[in-house]
Structure 1
């Protein structure tokens, strides 16, 4: 039953997005927080990550980025910001933001992911995220000088 509810919520999120409104809606997230328990919210966050991954595979980078942000916002709100999965989603979010052309946002997310991976002792991904931070930062700088 919980999975059905979370899937319905994901569909609702996806339908509520439009080409003009790609930001994370705090009211939607707050509504979820007031409605569901931590376990269900974790499932919803996981489903958002799955949807985002599928959207990335389809080239829908703005949509993917928005869904990653929602997943992160939910995880942060339920106290999972220090969890290793948060770092992983943050890293995925940076890649989607970069592909969507949001280079500065991608750079910041990659830096945060690198620091989070470092805190968890995941040096392989810490280095990868740090390298992406530099590369995305260069793209951000180039965009700023245009």
Structure 2
């Protein structure tokens, strides 16, 4: 069990979960599995809700949150790139960067909506709806 405030441990869990997905799992689904692992890492949703509201309502905390998310994205791009079958090169694969950025945008949007609903909406369902809007065009 992880403390939802331990962002380093959560980032490592995300990375490991994505890396451990079978090769036939798409990059989208591997990232989804990673975020599912984070959602279930802490069985205290009220604590996650409290922290989420605080982050989204406090500009300085929101800025730090975005900084950590950008670092996570940078760390995940090579993993997604490998999953896409792209060789590592001097510049990251455009597709890998776009997929990772889109997934994080969905996570952030879903989390913000979930926090605004006081946790009444299902966070995983919100994420899936956000992702469907991107992948299916709405």
Greater helix proportion:
1
Superposed pair shares fold, TM > 0.5: no
Q: Larger RCO: Structure 1 or Structure 2 (Cα < 8 Å, ≥ 6 residues apart)?
A: 2
TM-score (norm 1): 0.35
TM-score (norm 2): 0.36
